[in-house]
Structure 1
Amino acid sequence: MGLVLVLMVTVMMTVGGGGIGVAASTAEVHVVGGDNGWDISSDIAAWSADRLFRVGDHIWFAYSSGAGENIVEVGSMEELQACDVTNPIRMYTDGLDSITLDGVGTRFFASSSTDRCKKGLKLNIDVLPQQPIQFHDQMYDADDDAIATGPTTPSAAAEVFDRWVQHQQQQTWECLRIDCSLQRILHSTCIDQQRNSSMKD
């Protein structure tokens, strides 16, 4: 449980630490197996049954690598169902692995132990396209221009984005006011210098 709590904090820092942005607000983070992580007791199949995975999401595997447990990624459903881990396309061994889902399609993960795989430590993920992003009355796809208009309910991310925009606008106006004040000061100084020069002449 402690490992997963540390993982949750790490995830929040990873996703939120880069500042406010569209990509951070749309990506989901999935800790495989939930509180117990990558473990037979987690019932990985039940955990994944109702979840949606999209391009840009992150999946985290938390497991005890010291117990001889590693995770392999295989290339087909047939290999996954048979727990054939003899020809993996990738292997994860850190005990805390973050994987970014970077393309649409199906990916297959299993325990490197055939016995543990057959006991349920395996996972297939159908990765869907990115979900469109909604901002008030316009909806944008991650790669396209506006594709629909209409009233929408602002999400928490949209409200944060609005506050950020307002803050930037306030800073911009403040900079403009400062710039104008400096210009007035410089203009007044130039006039005073011209007057002093004329009086001397």
Structure 2
Amino acid sequence: MGSTRFSLLCFVTCLILFSLNFDTYEATEFPVGGKENSWSIPTSPNALNVWAQHERFKIGDSLVFKYDSKNDSVLQVEEGDYKKCIRTKPIQEYKDGNTVIKVNESAAFFFISGADGHCEKGEKLEVIVLSHKHSSPPPALSPNESPAVTTPVVEAPKSSAVGLDLWIVDVFIVAVATLVGISMF
């Protein structure tokens, strides 16, 4: 009987320790530009990218583009086409006026307007999607800078002191569980 209790206690302790090592994450919908109908020519040429640099996009999040479908569209393009505002060979084209794009991988994504001249006036967006384990976005751009990030940003590992703190907590929990298990005999 005591052996069964001890085994159960060890199992529960391991389950608790295992669950402590996982972050929970809930997907977020991001209105592009931070507000309704902001997929349009911005007031400053880099405004959409400045907004994107202040957000933290992760796998599973969605970008919501709201715009007038009679006058505009959203094109997902390769980086080179993004930089040169080339609309002729998009990866994907959206024309519904309420485009929701779910990002399913950690990478850089590039979007431009499908309307003549809009991209050249700043209606373009670069989004860096981080993996679930990354905790901070790339450094923010000033309003006059253009985005220089061409590959997904990989954040440096967190301080080993944080890992050490969790390790100490884990060891403490195992020690207490073991003492409780032994006292049950």
1:57 aligns with 2:61: yes
1:39 & 1:47 partners in 2: Cα distance?
A: 14
Aligned residue in 2 for 1:84 = 86
Bigger proportion of residues as helix: 1
1:113: Cα distance to partner? 2.2
Where do 1:51-200 residues align within 5 Å?
51-67=55-71, 69-75=72-78, 77-131=79-133, 148=166
Closer, same or farther: CA 54–82 of 1 in aligned 2, 3 Å: same
2:31 & 2:168 partners in 1: Cα distance?
A: 35
Q: TM-score, normalised by structure 2?
A: 0.55
Opposite residue 88 of structure 1, the aligned amino acid is P
Structure 1: segments with no counterpart, 5+ residues: 1-22, 133-146, 152-201
1:54: Cα distance to partner? 0.8
1:39 & 1:24 partners in 2: Cα distance?
A: 34
Opposite residue 45 of structure 1, the aligned amino acid is N
1:101 & 1:40 partners in 2: Cα distance?
A: 24
Structure scoring higher RCO (CA < 8 A, sep ≥ 6) equals 2
CA shift digits 1:2-51 (9 cap, x unpaired) = xxxxxxxxxxxxxxxxxxxxx99521221001224212236212211222
Closer, same or farther: CA 150–96 of 1 in aligned 2, 3 Å: farther
Opposite residue 38 of structure 1, the aligned amino acid is W
Q: Is the 8 A contact 2:108 2:126 kept in 1?
A: yes
Q: TM-score, normalised by structure 1?
A: 0.51
Max Rg structure:
1
Q: Number of residues paired by the alignment?
A: 115
Aligned residue in 2 for 1:28 = 28
